[in-house]
Amino acid sequence: MAGRMEGKVVFITGAARGQGRSHALRLAEEGADIIAIDICESVPGVVYDGATSEDLAETVRQVEALDRRIVAREADVRDEDALASAVADGVAELGRLDGAVANAGIDIIKHWQDFTKDDWDNTIGTNLTGVWNTVRAVAPAIIDGGNGGSIVLISSANGIKPGPFNAPYNAAKFGVTALSKSFAMELGKHRIRVNSIHPGAVETHMGTGAAGNIGELDKENPGLLQMLNGWFNNDDGSLNFMQPREISNAVLYLLSDESPFTTGLAMNVDGGMASY
């Protein structure tokens, strides 16, 4: 069924690559126009390279190849003014705002005692404060449209069940889960739905890059990685990375008119990772 997002405009953070680009393309396939932002630089302490301006330009190219409109800006989700400016630019050009996906995130994996203050501040700032800033930037524009809308917050399986060697990330993602339910209550009077999605292991720069040294960390705490096992893992017990489109399909459902009474939901898309 095509056209499930026809006529709608969606704001997406972290849209230069990975899950964010996947969400933009999946929604564009169904008729949405996109406002896309990304920091387009590496964050200190993160072991994998950040997205680039060229990555964001490629997202623009691919959305436009689907014959959809897109407004792209380089902005840091930790900067509330930059987000508000990006929203204003997008609405001015595209005419409205119907939804948002607070997707931008980073992950730093270490033993608890090895995290620095900057590691904590960057993780909480991007993964939690950035989500708070995103909702505060988009909600007024959606309210002003008078048509209701939908906001999706990308949390994590670790926003339901903590993973080892990931304390700041766990704290941020649990916070996102709480924000989703809080915003769902307060924005309901405007017919704005707010839900969170909780991905497991996704094959992105973050998903594969952050976990690169987790096996070495586990040697000092044997068995902790077993808590990350899901029902659909590889035969040897290793993580079976899903493709970003799996998450994008869930995003599409929650943003579309197919979920008019779905709000305050924490939706696992994780192969069972957080279910036991």
Q: What is the pLDDT of residues 221-266, one digit of tens each?
A: 777 777 667 777 777 766 778 899 999 999 999 999 999 999 999 9
Q: What is the pTM of this model?
A: 0.94
Residue 146's CB is within 10 A of a number of other CB atoms, namely 10
Active site residue 169: yes
- Which positions ≥6 away from 244 have C-beta within 8 Å? 18, 19, 21, 22, 23, 202, 203, 204
All structural domains of the chain, each given as residue ranges with its CATH number in brackets, are 9-267 (3.40.50.720)
Residue 167 is predicted with a pLDDT of 96
Contact present, 172 and 127 (Cβ < 8 Å): yes
Which three-class secondary structure state does DSSP give residue 118? helix
How far is the C-alpha of 268 from the C-alpha of 187, rounded, in Å? Answer: 22
pLDDT digits (tens, 9 = 90+) for 128-159: 999 999 999 999 999 999 999 999 999 999 99
Contact present, 14 and 103 (Cβ < 8 Å): yes
Residue 223's CB is within 10 A of a number of other CB atoms, namely 8
